[in-house]
């Protein structure tokens, strides 16, 4: 039996790193890509094939995919779009260029890689495109407008792509985690400091009392937080199921919010989410 292959992005830490190890342990040939060359080198030292893919750099996307296909002889069973970051801050304090930047990394690059891999999967007669979305792709929380908006956009694009590819052998799947142990909070700090002039904001006191404490100090895991392996478990289900689900929820908050979004009036749901 031919070993199946998967290209995973954002493998330097967190969900991507665990997915790379978990899929390899399950017998898959894993191409564990990272944005930074030094992270690729570290993963190569761990025995992975690790092409560099930076979602903000079209050349790196196309070259990284080309190197993957060269290694496999031109086939690829699955791609897991995963790499993303956050810019904490109120929407009114987000410069539009901050949104342009985060959409390049969290949305446009995913679209480029997905478009590039579709002809490969169509030609080989099978394939799966898996998107790591979030509970914040279908409900919102304050101070997360930049991240929320990229995930909402991703959900809309992915749902459309799934419908459009119904007449092909390609399956398209959303994986929607809630709180997962990762470095996303720490990694968001440089973006916050670069883009958000919080001291000049009319919400400066709210930043000081709420966001700054959460951003710069860790009180331990969030309630209901799960390790990244919880996402890997759902990823493995999604790539091996004969007929995968369109969506896989991960963590209790995702299940709760999925239910509340269906049954509650918008204003009532807003009141619940505003406490976050």
Domain edges within the chain: 5-273
Name the strand (E) or helix (H) holding 128: strand 127-132
Burial class (CB in 10 A: 0-12, 13-18, 19+), 78: buried
Residues serving a catalytic function are 147
125-154 pLDDT, tens per residue? 999 999 999 999 999 999 999 999 999 999
For 5-273, the fitting CATH number among 3.40.50.10240, 1.10.10.60, 3.30.2390.10, 3.40.50.720 is 3.40.50.720
DSSP per-residue codes, 83-106: ------B-GGG--HHHHHHHHIII
CA 69 to chain centre: 22
- For residue 117, what pLDDT is reported? 98
Distances in Å between the Cα of 51 and the Cα atoms of 37, 68, 127 are 9, 7, 20
Question: Is the pLDDT assigned to residue 246 strictly greater than 80?
Answer: yes
Task: Please give the model's pTM, rounded to 2 decimal places.
Answer: 0.95
For residue 117, which of 1, 239, 8 has the smallest C-alpha distance? 8
Q: What proportion of the chain, given as a percentage, has pLDDT over 70?
A: 99
Question: In this structure, are residues 188 and 144 in contact, taking their beta carbons and an 8 Å threshold?
Answer: no
192-239 pLDDT, tens per residue? 999 999 999 999 999 999 899 889 987 777 889 999 999 999 999 999
76-125 pLDDT, tens per residue? 999 999 999 999 999 999 999 999 999 999 999 999 999 999 999 999 99
CB neighbour burial string for 41-70, b if at least 16 within 10 angstroms, e if fewer: ebbeeeebbbbbbbbebeebbeebbebbbe
Confidence of residue 184 (pLDDT cuts 50, 70, 90): very high
Between residues 218 and 159, the one the model is more confident about: 159
Judged by average pLDDT, the poorest of 36-50, 179-193, 213-227, 235-249 is 213-227
- For residue 226, what pLDDT is reported? 97
- For residue 1, what pLDDT is reported? 60
Confidence of residue 15 (pLDDT cuts 50, 70, 90): very high
> 3-class SS at 234?
helix
């Amino acid at each position: 039996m031919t070993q199946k292959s998967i290209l995973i992005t954002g493998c330097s830490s967190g969900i991507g790193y665990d997915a790379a190890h978990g899929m390899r342990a399950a017998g898959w040939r894993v191409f564990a890509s990272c944005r930074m060359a030094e992270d690729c080198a570290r993963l190569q030292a761990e025995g992975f094939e690790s092409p560099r893919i930076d979602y903000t750099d079209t050349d790196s996307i196309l070259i990284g995919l080309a190197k993957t296909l060269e290694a496999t002889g031109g086939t690829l069973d699955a791609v897991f779009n995963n790499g993303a970051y956050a810019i904490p801050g109120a929407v009114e304090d987000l410069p539009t260029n901050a949104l342009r930047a985060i959409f390049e990394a969290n949305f446009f690059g995913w679209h480029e890689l997905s478009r590039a891999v579709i002809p490969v999967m169509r030609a080989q007669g099978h394939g799966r495109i898996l998107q790591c979305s979030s509970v914040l792709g279908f409900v919102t929380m304050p101070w997360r407008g930049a991240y929320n908006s990229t995930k909402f956009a991703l959900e809309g694009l992915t749902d459309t792509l799934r419908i459009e590819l119904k007449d092909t052998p390609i399956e398209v799947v959303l994986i929607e985690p809630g709180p997962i142990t990762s470095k996303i909070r720490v990694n968001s700090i440089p973006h916050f400091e670069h883009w958000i002039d919080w001291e000049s904001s009319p919400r400066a006191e709210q930043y000081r009392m709420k966001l700054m404490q959460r951003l710069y100090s860790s009180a331990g895991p969030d309630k209901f937080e799960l390790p990244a392996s919880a996402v890997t478990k759902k990823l493995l289900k999604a790539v091996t199921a004969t007929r995968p689900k369109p969506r896989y929820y991960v963590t209790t908050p995702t299940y709760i919010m999925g239910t509340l979004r269906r049954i509650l009036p918008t204003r009532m749901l807003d009141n619940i989410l505003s406490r976050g």
